[in-house]
Amino acid sequence: MLVTTTSIPSIQIIEPKVFGDNRGFFMESWNSNDFSQVASDITFVQDNHSRSKKGVVRGLHFQLPPHAQAKLVRCIYGRIFDVAVDIRKSSPTFGKWVGVELSAENKRQLWIPEGFAHGFVALSDFAEVFYKTNEYWHKECEGSIRWDDPTIAITWPLDETPCLSEKDNLAPYLQQATLFE
Ligand SMILES: Cc1cn([C@H]2C[C@H](O)[C@@H](COP(=O)(O)OP(=O)(O)O[C@H]3O[C@@H](C)C(=O)[C@@H](O)[C@H]3O)O2)c(=O)[nH]c1=O
């Protein structure tokens, strides 16, 4: 697998080795030994799978301590633009974001450690996203930030108003949100 560091050093892109033949393809979508070069001491406890229609934005979401959650994200159907935002107040890259296209075709995965908010937009008619997490869902620790916060200024590849959940529509701006110290 190929690991590429992004402009935010702890956010990494993983590209599994794909063996294609006349039947289709095979790949190890996750291998504990190989993954130790990306992050150590990670135990995944939950897999999540969502389907979104084109123009849906989910995010920006995170879980706060004591149940902070790291995510290994991939798109298994269609295409998404996946985004991670550094929300660690003491970080030199606080408020900065990274966006990567993940698709069923490019098979890229995005590693998003604790301390980041995560969101994506579905670029294809439908997109299915599958992600592993190292912490269970704890509703009481959930946090969110508005997808269009002007201080973060994510360049979403969107040419229409996105479809949002009610919760995401009411999300606070970065300045009002409870973040990581
Ligand atoms: C996140 C989550 C939600 N749920 C339930 C709560 C709710 O009734 C329903 C839909 O939840 P949401 O609207 O929060 O789903 P969604 O907007 O897809 O939330 C997800 O967005 C992406 C960007 C992430 O990074 C994830 O961590 C998660 O926050 O699923 C679980 O049962 N387990 C979970 O782990």
Q: What is the pLDDT along the chain (181 residues), one digit of tens a residue?
A: 999 999 999 999 999 999 999 999 999 999 999 999 999 999 999 999 999 999 999 999 999 999 999 999 999 999 999 999 999 999 999 999 999 999 999 999 999 999 999 999 999 999 999 999 999 999 999 999 999 999 999 999 998 999 999 999 999 999 999 999 9
Collapsing DSSP to helix, strand or coil, 168 comes out as helix
Dist CA 161 CA 74 (whole Å): 24
Q: Is the CB of 132 under 6 A from ligand 1?
A: no
Write down the domain spans for the chain.
2-176
Quote the ligand 1 centre to 45 CA distance (angstroms): 15
Residue 33 is classified by DSSP as: H
Is the ipTM above a cut-off of 0.90?
yes
Contact criterion met (CB below 8 Å) for 158 and 119: no
49, 61, 77, 136: which is the annotated catalytic residue? 61
Q: Is the CB of 137 under 6 A from ligand 1?
A: yes
Quote the ligand 1 centre to 22 CA distance (angstroms): 37
Q: The pTM is what?
A: 0.97
Dist CA 58 CA 89 (whole Å): 23
- Placement of tokens 């620790």 in the chain: 141
Quote the ligand 1 centre to 50 CA distance (angstroms): 8
- Whether 118 is catalytic is no
- Placement of tokens 């660690």 in the chain: 88
Give the residue among 175, 171, 149 at the shortest CA–CA distance from 61: 171
Dist CA 32 CA 22 (whole Å): 28
Give the residue among 33, 20, 36, 13 at the shortest CA–CA distance from 109: 13
- Whether 131 is catalytic is yes
CATH class of 2-176: mainly beta
Q: Is the CB of 143 under 6 A from ligand 1?
A: no
